[in-house]
Structure 1
Amino acid sequence: MKNWNSPGEHITLPAPADVSSGAFVTVGAIRGVAQGAAAAGEEVVLVRRGVFDLPKVAAEAWTTGAKVYWDATAKLMTTIDTDNALVGAATALAAGGSATGRVLLDGVIR
């Protein structure tokens, strides 16, 4: 195919703000985890699929398989869907009081 470009699992885009390696990043409707650090406007590689340990709302306890959403205001993962973007599912239990949760990003743009 002459029009094929890439599988899209890793995509290089301009960073919307300063980002650190491992940070969850959104560029419009595209979401992923930064493969490295980048200053605002510099290119950053986003990994769109895979399992990542990401910052979550500490007060929440997660069950395996729970839908996980991105709260863009708090900059945390949450199981609350109201006004938040679905990004994947929890792949492990996360106790209330824990600051991180294990999330499967499925790469689907919603």
Structure 2
Amino acid sequence: MRGFIHPGNVNTFVAPRALASGDGFIVGSDFAVATGPAAQGGEVEGLQIGVVDLPKATGANTDVTQGTKLYWDDANRRVTKSSAGNVLIGTARRDAATADTSYRVRLTGQIS
């Protein structure tokens, strides 16, 4: 197809900070998960569409059921179900209890 570049599930970014593989990050209006390590200011490949396990907020009332909207808390570098001051990144792909340390997230490829 004329003009087609690639599916867009993984894209190249300038790392906003030092990143390890699996770290979530925001660049402008894009949320992605690093597919490998990168130094701050270096190039990093970031997964934007797919299903990943990401660290979750801890404490009371952090349980979710499959399909719950999930948000990225960039200040604390974790996923939360609270929309206040955070950006929508996807939905829960499985239930998670308060005691769990991660959410399984279906990334939507867009943030609000």
User: What are the residue-to-residue correspondences of 1:16-35 with 2, within 5 Å?
Assistant: 16-35=16-35
Q: Is the 8 A contact 1:12 1:43 kept in 2?
A: yes
Alignment length, in residue pairs?
110
Q: 1:56 corresponds to which residue? A: 56
Q: Which amino acid aligns with 1:46?
A: G
Contact 2:9 2:50 in 1 (8 A): no
What is the TM-score normalised by the length of structure 2? 0.91
Shift of 1:2: 4.8
Correspondence for 2:81: 79
Tell me, in whole angstroms, the C-alpha distance in 2 between the residues paired with 1:73 and 1:16: 13
Tell me the CA shift for residue 52 of structure 1: 0.5
Check conservation: 1:52, 1:103, Cα contact below 8 A: yes
CA distance in 2, matches of 1:72, 1:109: 12
Q: What CA deviation, in whole Å up to 9, does each residue of 1:43-88 have, x standing for no partner?
A: 1000101110100012211111100001112211000111110000
Question: Which piece of structure 1 moves more, 77-86 or 4-13?
Answer: 4-13
State the alpha-carbon separation in 2 of the partners of residues 76 and 93 from structure 1: 17
Consecutive unaligned residues of structure 2, counting only runs of 5 or more, are none
RMSD between superposed Cα atoms in Å: 1.2
Q: Secondary structure at the match of 1:5?
A: coil
Q: Percent identity?
A: 38
Q: In structure 2, what residue type is equivalent to 1:5? A: I
